Chain A
Amino acid sequence: MALVLKYVVAVLVRYWLIHSDYWQTLANRVEIATPLNSWKRLIEGIYLFEHNIDPYDGDSFHESPLLLISFYSLLKYAPYLLPGVFTLIDILTAYFLYKTAKIFVRILKRNQENNIEVISDESKAMILTNLQLEEVPEYVLSVYLFNPYSVLNCVGMTTTVVQNLLLAVSLWGSVAGHRLVACIFIALATHQALYPITLIVPISILLADVNKGCKKCSYIRTLLVFILCWGFLIFISAYIMNGSYSYIYNTYGFILTVPDLKPNIGLFWYFFTEMFEHFRLLFVCAFQINALILYVVPLTLRFKNEPILLATVLIALSTIFRSYPCVGDVGFYLALLPMWKHLFTFMQQKFIAGCAFIITSVLGPTVWHLWIYSGSANANFFFGVTLSFATAQIFLITDLMFAYLKREFTLKHGSSRQVDGKPAKLVLR
């Protein structure tokens, strides 16, 4: 009952905001809409497509042809449904996250039972009870439905709403052991935004864990299915665009080379505005490697037993470091955090990070207005805010990982911090 009520309230909030006078303002906010995902660009792309002008010829549209064709038909046959469709997609995302969290709790419980013998006597009290675990999915659902980032993202009718659904379904598919579902949806997400490609690693680990049997065969099978799906999507998209692959330059190329320097909540825009021209390529490569592949291998080696934590961290890191992030991406990974509710007691910087989130979220629009509309501030103000927002997110994610390590350590060695009766400190060495 409470669940249904949550859905209803979430739908009402979204419906009200989409139909309010603020919709236009929200849909144009730099924090919500980037050149990649904005509703305005989608409309422009569809308009050009409708008038037989290649939308990928110019610089106005950067979404995948699949999305173009689906929204084109939607807009043509049932334009009145659009606000409803966006709300529905967002609710579905929440539902799939809820389902994912439910299965995740089961996995967590099973792992805990398997490892019960290594837990030290002192730490027996830390074993998660059923009651604690059962509320996790509820939290995940509530956070996705009601955190302002995802609400605003849905109201802004950005294509990130679709992206979030694809990610949620692929996460659900992998924890539930449906290889095909997971692979198809992660391929769709990769096709749309490229950065989710990193998620194939935790997904293949998860699938191998869930579907018992030969692990290596499972990895290879997952990878193969993913590559086949992705290749098929690339081909199908070219088929939609009359066999022309020029859209790749305007989607992946646009994401990777960062030609549009319109401010967003990420780190790229001001960095590459102020970049010296002959270092540009070097830093574009460095930043993209940082966002795409730098952390995948080390984190995989470290957290191979916790693929869901790995997935959470990879989603969060790619959100922080991607070229065109928006609040919708932030909202999505924030909704995954309640799954790690049992780690919160070990986190040291959650207060600082929380305060920074609130302050930057308020300050961002304020300094943007001062800079762009009243002309009394300059770009540095907004840059400062986006920097602190990124720092807050980094603190949150690294703190979560430290908390996980500390909890594991405490479970093994007990909660007393003593060496030979002398007080001791937990340090990394």
Chain B
Amino acid sequence: MHLYVYFQFITLITGNTYEHSHLAPRSLKEIMSRFQVEELHLTLTEGQWRHKQWGYPVMDAAPGAELYAWFSPTVTDVNDNWKKLSATLSGLFCASLNFIDAHNTISPKMALTPLGAMNIGLNYTSQFARYASLPREIVCTENLTPWKKLLPCESSHGFASLLNSRLIHNTNYHSIGVHIRKVCSNNECTNYNFEVKQTVALVYDFKIINSMNWSFKLLFGQGLFGGCPLSSSSKIYIDVTSNDTLPFKLSPKPISIIQSQRGGSDTLLAVYVIKADSPMINIGAKHSIDNKFSVTIPPPLHFNRYVLGYGKEFGGIVTEITNNYWAPIDIVLLENAPWWLPIQLSTLRINGEAESSLILKQYYSPGRSRQRPYHLELLMRLPPKSTTTVTIDFEFVFLKWQEYPPDANHGFYIGSALISAKLPTAKNYTSIPIDGTTLESVINASKPWYPAVFRTNGAMVSLPTPDFSMPYNVICLACTVVALAFGPLHNICTKELVLKPSGTSLSLRQRIINLFKKKKD
């Protein structure tokens, strides 16, 4: 049993000038215009979202750091802008985003689509999109502090004052993110505004907080002292649907309870409206029965990923995707293997078959050592009520000794695969619709299908290591062997055989006497 807490701060930048910005962070606006970025998504995540047990998050994020962006079609050298963008963000968020380079960047073809307003008729998905993830990145206070500084009230007022790094970094899963997109400012979409969305997702384990009764004080160490005075709206929504099966009481009482019907699933939301001058509020829930276990019903689409094989020579990556729904679901699976994990396309097997009818479209860009990752995208139609297993083999690479990170035997992280799905049902689906901004837009937002991009769990492999302590020895020994050939060959080629009188061998005594005799002479 877990508790999911999601914060979302939206700042709208109106107008195209960034010289005067009193609410929006000028630094972000400058980055957007300087590198001609149309849309930007950055998340820093610690922990692994468990889709099967927890359902779907509002915004999924890969473990570690993840950055993807769309550039304006006027950009001539996208790779250069991308490099500069990641380096700038690296400084802004104190994260190692400067390690993003051509060797871990891909241009997704099908899996990612822009969420903001884009010019019609341009193929944004391939040329101008860049995606990179750094699964090894560790998220800490140093990333949260600059993130908080981007907010209009920083951390002094409003919801952000709850984000006490001592407590939120103790959660099972925490993810901070910045998402910038273009939104139309009028119905004809002749003009646009930038929308800066800053998110925090936290997952608390009831076992760890040692009680199913939660309150702001327990989760954040303090109550909430009113909203940010600069904000136009501050609302708290609490999903109280589970009240039927697992009764609990909210205190203080919510202002209203809204019923939302979306794609065949009913959700009850308790709403609190927070004003800037509201008194301190400590929202909490008290369960009538403590520590009761409930059976979780897995969401319509869930997945698992793991590494096969033993030894450090050959292995395989398996991605298992389960469709629980009664209709087929179309997904795009994006496998992004780093260059030191060369996957072999000829070993791709879907449910053990080489040529599977489940694949509708396939894209593959082979990697190159130290230059480019391996990038595979599969558009698949998952049959109803089935589990599809995608297997691909790889070979372990032997790196140069200076390419191993510190603590080489810790292992190497493989980034998550992306699964982009068109969900036919909104069960467990909490994402904000593409035309919405705040969480209010989720209510009764039924659509024919629901787009979602998920990240599978990452994995880890242990690459074979050389002996780091002996570069000199190896260089000397190998050169000695070369010299062993060079010496005799040099002799053979430059000298000739002759007979040399060799006399009878002298005894040691005789030799010593000879030595003295020589001295006398």
Check: B23 CB closer than 8 A to any chain A CB: no
Beta-carbon contact of A390 and B481 below 8 Å: yes
CB of B439 closer than 8 Å to a CB of A: no
Contacts of B467-521 to chain A: CB distance below 8 A: 467, 470-471, 474-475, 477-478, 481-482, 484-486, 488-504
B73 within 8 Å of A (CB atoms): no
Question: In the complex, which residues 40-93 of chain A have their Cβ closer than 8 Å to any Cβ of chain B?
Answer: 40, 43-44, 46-48, 51, 53, 55, 57-60
CA distance A286 to B503 in the complex (A): 43
Contact of A427 among B344, B402, B467, B497 (CB under 8 A): B497
Q: Are B496 and A429 in contact (CB under 8 A)?
A: yes
Q: How would residues 359 to 391 of chain A score, 1 for a CB under 8 Å from any chain B CB and 0 otherwise?
A: 000000000000111000011100100010011
11 A-B pairs within 8 Å (CB atoms) are namely A44-B345, A51-B345, A259-B370, A287-B482, A298-B494, A299-B493, A302-B493, A401-B489, A402-B492, A425-B502, A429-B498
3 smallest A-B Cβ distances: which pairs?
A: A58-B366, A47-B346, A298-B493
Chain A residues with CB under 8 Å of B312's CB are: 372-373
CB of A271 within 8 A of CB of B464, answer no
- B311 an interface residue at 8 Å Cβ cutoff? yes
Q: With A and B bound together, what is the CA distance between A202 and B367 in angstroms?
A: 40
Residues on B close to A: CB < 8 A?
310-314, 339, 342, 344-346, 362, 364-370, 372, 374, 395, 397-402, 464-467, 470-471, 474-475, 477-478, 481-482, 484-486, 488-504
Known: A47-B345, A391-B481. A379 touches B467 (CB 8 A): yes
Q: Which residue of A lies closest to B400 (CB)?
A: A273
Interface status of A351 (Cβ within 8 A of chain B)? no
Question: A321 with B482: in contact, given A379-B467, A380-B470 (CB under 8 Å)?
Answer: yes
- The reply to whether A402 and B493 form a contact with Cβ atoms under 8 Å apart is no
**Contact, CB under 8 Å: A263 / B492:** no
Q: Chain A residues near B490 (CB, 8 Å)?
A: 298
Q: Tell me, rounded to whole Å, the shortest Cβ–Cβ distance linking B501 to chain A.
A: 5
Nearest to A417 among chain B residues (CB) is B499
A246 → chain B, closest Cβ, in Å?
11
Are the C-beta atoms of A60 and B344 separated by less than 8 Å?
yes
- CB contacts (< 8 Å) of B488 on chain A: these are 394, 398, 401-402
Enumerate chain A residues within 8 angstroms of B478, measured Cβ to Cβ: 267, 270-271, 387
At the interface with chain B, which of A95-103, A109-117, A327-335, A405-413?
A405-413
Determine how close the nearest CB of chain A comes to the CB of B369; give it in whole angstroms: 5
Cβ-defined contact, B367 with A275, below 8 A: no
**Chain A residues in the interface with B (C-beta under 8 A):** 28, 30, 40, 43-44, 46-48, 51, 53, 55, 57-60, 259-263, 267, 269-277, 287, 290, 294-295, 298-299, 301-302, 317, 320-321, 371-373, 378-380, 383, 387, 390-391, 394-395, 397-398, 401-402, 405-406, 409, 413, 417-420, 422-429
CA of A27 to CA of B498, assembled, Å: 49
Instruction: Note all chain B residues with C-beta closer than 8 A to A55.
Output: 366
Chain B residues near A417 (CB-CB < 8 A): 499
Contact A387 to B499, CB < 8 A, known contacts A44-B345, A59-B369, A394-B485: no
CB distance from B340 to the nearest CB of A (A): 11
From B402, B475, B486, B500, give the contact of A271 (CB < 8 A): B475
Q: With A47-B345, A406-B497 as known contacts, state yes or no: A277 contacts B365, CB within 8 Å.
A: no
| A424 in contact with B500 given A259-B370, A273-B400 (CB within 8 Å) | yes
A140 to B471, CA, bound (A): 41
Residue of chain B at shortest CB distance from A374: B311
Most buried by B among A43, A47, A269: A47
Contact of A44 with B495 in the complex, beta carbons under 8 Å: no
Seed contacts A271-B475, A271-B478; 16 additional CB < 8 Å A-B pairs = A40-B395, A260-B398, A261-B399, A273-B400, A301-B493, A320-B485, A372-B464, A378-B466, A387-B477, A394-B484, A398-B489, A418-B499, A422-B501, A423-B503, A424-B500, A427-B500
- Cross-interface CB contact of B484 among A272, A287, A391, A422, cutoff 8 Å: A391
- Of chain B, the residue at the smallest CB distance from A250 is B368
In whole angstroms, what is the CA distance A47 to B346 when docked? 6
Q: Are A263 and B366 in contact (CB under 8 A)?
A: no
B345: chain A residues at CB < 8 Å are 44, 47-48, 51, 53, 60
Smallest beta-carbon distance B393→chain A, Å: 9
Question: Which residues of B have CB within 8 Å of A44?
Answer: 344-346
Question: B501: which of A402, A409, A423, A429 is its contact (CB, 8 Å)?
Answer: A423
B342 CB contacts on chain A under 8 angstroms: 59-60
Do A405 and B484 have beta carbons less than 8 Å apart?
no
Residues in A whose Cβ lies below 8 Å from that of B477: 383, 387
Given A59-B368, A261-B399, A383-B474, A274 and B497 contact (CB-CB distance below 8 Å)? no
Residues from chain B with a CB closer than 8 A to the CB of A302 are 492-493
Across-interface contacts of B362 in A (CB, < 8 A): 51
Contact call B485/A413, Cβ cutoff below 8 A? no
CB neighbours (8 Å) of A262 from chain B are: 395, 397-398
Known: A271-B478, A380-B470, A398-B488. A428 touches B495 (CB 8 A): yes
Q: Are the C-beta atoms of A59 and B500 separated by less than 8 Å?
A: no
Chain B residue nearest to A425 in the complex (CB): B502
> In the complex, what distance in Å separates the CA atom of A426 from the CA atom of B502?
10
Q: Assess whether B366 is in contact with A57, with CB atoms less than 8 Å apart.
A: yes
Determine the distance from Cα of A429 to Cα of B342 in the docked complex, in whole angstroms: 54
Minimum Cβ distance to chain B for residue A394 (Å) = 4
CB nearest to A381 among chain B residues: B467
CB distance from B354 to the nearest CB of A (A): 9
Query: Which residue of chain A lies nearest to B484 when distances are taken between CB atoms in the complex?
Result: A394
Docked pose: A417 CA to B397 CA in angstroms: 56
Query: In the complex, what distance in Å separates the CA atom of A390 from the CA atom of B310?
Result: 30
Which residues on the B side are within 8 Å of A260 (C-beta)?
369, 397-398
| Complex partner residue of B502 from A270, A274, A290, A424, CB under 8 angstroms | A424
CB-CB under 8 A from B374, the residues of chain A are: 58
B344 & A270 in contact (Cβ 8 Å cutoff):
no
CA distance A44 to B465 in the complex (A): 26
**In the complex, what residue of chain B is closest to A287 when comparing beta carbons?**
B482
Q: A47-B346, A60-B366, A261-B400 are in contact. Are A378 and B467 (CB under 8 A)?
A: yes
Complex contact A394–B481 (CB within 8 A)? yes
A318 to B365, CA, bound (A): 35
Give every chain B residue within 8 A of A301 (Cβ-Cβ).
Answer: 493
Q: Which residues of A contact B500 (CB under 8 A)?
A: 419, 424-427, 429
B-side contacts of A277, CB under 8 Å: 400, 402
Within 8 Å by CB of B499, from A271, A295, A379, A426, lies A426
Bound together, the chains give a CA A340 to CA B331 distance in angstroms of 66
**Which residues on B sit within 8 Å (CB–CB) of A290?**
482, 486
Q: Nearest-CB distance from B64 to chain A (Å)?
A: 25
When C-beta atoms are compared, the residue in chain B nearest to A29 turns out to be B313
Once the chains are docked, how many angstroms separate the CA of A57 from the CA of B372?
Answer: 11
* Inter-chain contacts of A267 with B (CB < 8 A): 478, 481-482
Known: A413-B499, A424-B502, A426-B497. A259 touches B369 (CB 8 A): yes
Interface centre among B310, B311, B395, B499 (most CB of A within 10 A): B499
Task: Assess whether B497 is in contact with A299, with CB atoms less than 8 Å apart.
Answer: no
Cα(A33)–Cα(B480), bound, Å: 26
**Interface contact B481-A275, CB-CB below 8 Å:** no
Question: Contacts of B310 on A, CB cut-off 8 Å?
Answer: 373
A273–B398 touching, CB < 8 Å = yes
Contact present for B492 and A405 (CB under 8 Å)? yes
Q: Which residues of B contact A391 (CB under 8 A)?
A: 481, 484
The reply to whether A274 and B466 form a contact with Cβ atoms under 8 Å apart is: yes
Q: How far is the CB of B171 from chain A (nearest CB, A)?
A: 35
CA distance A56 to B51 in the complex (A): 39
Partner of B492, one of A287, A321, A398: A398
Q: Are A58 and B400 in contact (CB under 8 A)?
A: no
CA distance A378 to B468 in the complex (A): 11
Min distance, Cβ B491 to any Cβ of chain A, angstroms: 5
C-alpha gap A116/B312 in the complex (Å): 61
- Chain A positions within 8 Å of B368 at CB level: 57-59
Name the distance in Å between A32's Cβ and chain B's nearest Cβ. Answer: 13
Report the minimal beta-carbon distance from A425 to chain B, rounded to whole angstroms: 4
Q: Which residues of B contact A46 (CB under 8 A)?
A: 346
- Residues in A with CB closer than 8 Å to B401 are 273-274
